[in-house]
Amino acid sequence: MRRCNPKRLPRGLASDIVSVIEGEIETQANQYAAEAWSTPEDDDTFIVAEFGDWGAVNGDLEGVGSPPHGYVLTDEGGEIPVVEGYAYREAVVDAVARKLKVAHKHVDRIAHLMKLPEEIPVSVSGSTEIYRRRHPRRSTA
């Protein structure tokens, strides 16, 4: 099996790959954080989370932002100053290879030279809005 030699890549491509890998790591960590922090524990909760340029509603990156009728904003959400998010090496390599239209093996070799672990910890920050379903009051007559 031939190994990828970054010295044999076209001039500047190795540094382009490094730059795009770094950006993709941050992007994916923010995506995963938005999904995780917006996932409710029950059907009576509606959560909007934003991390970086990514937002998610109830665990869905494709979700859109207004709670259904009958939900009220609580004081449980707010700013999340810094938490540890994660990106995953294989997903990052795949995304970068697609974006740059270069062979997967070239990106994987650069990731190896960067000593990226399989699970890449990243500090992320964001915010959440947490809504709860308002239950009608029951009459005690």
pLDDT tens figures, 47-105: 999 999 999 999 999 877 789 899 999 999 999 999 999 999 999 999 999 999 999 99
What pLDDT score does 10 carry? 66
Banded pLDDT at 2 (limits 50, 70, 90)? very low
Mean pLDDT for the chain?
90
- Mention every residue, 6+ apart, whose C-beta is less than 8 A from residue 9: 17, 106
Biggest alpha carbon–alpha carbon distance for the chain? 83
Please tell me the pTM assigned to this model: 0.82
Range of the domain at 92: 10-133
Q: Which residues pair with 71 in a beta bridge?
A: 133
Total tally of structural domains belonging to the chain: 1
Q: Which of 58, 36, 55, 37 is nearest to 46 (CA)?
A: 58
What pLDDT does residue 13 have? 83
Torsion 23-29-32-34 (CA) sign: negative
**Do residues 16 and 100 lie in contact, with contact meaning Cβ atoms separated by under 8 Å?**
yes
State whether residue 39 is helix, strand or coil.
Answer: coil
Q: Is position 1 within any domain? A: no
Residue 5, pLDDT > 90, answer: no
**How far is residue 133 from each of residues 67, 68, 74, 77, 136, measured CA to CA in Å?**
9, 9, 10, 15, 9
Q: What is the mean pLDDT of residues 1-25?
A: 76
141 located within any domain: no
Q: Is residue 5 part of a domain?
A: no
Q: Is 3 a domain residue?
A: no
Place of tokens 């859109």: 64
- Inside any domain, residue 69: yes
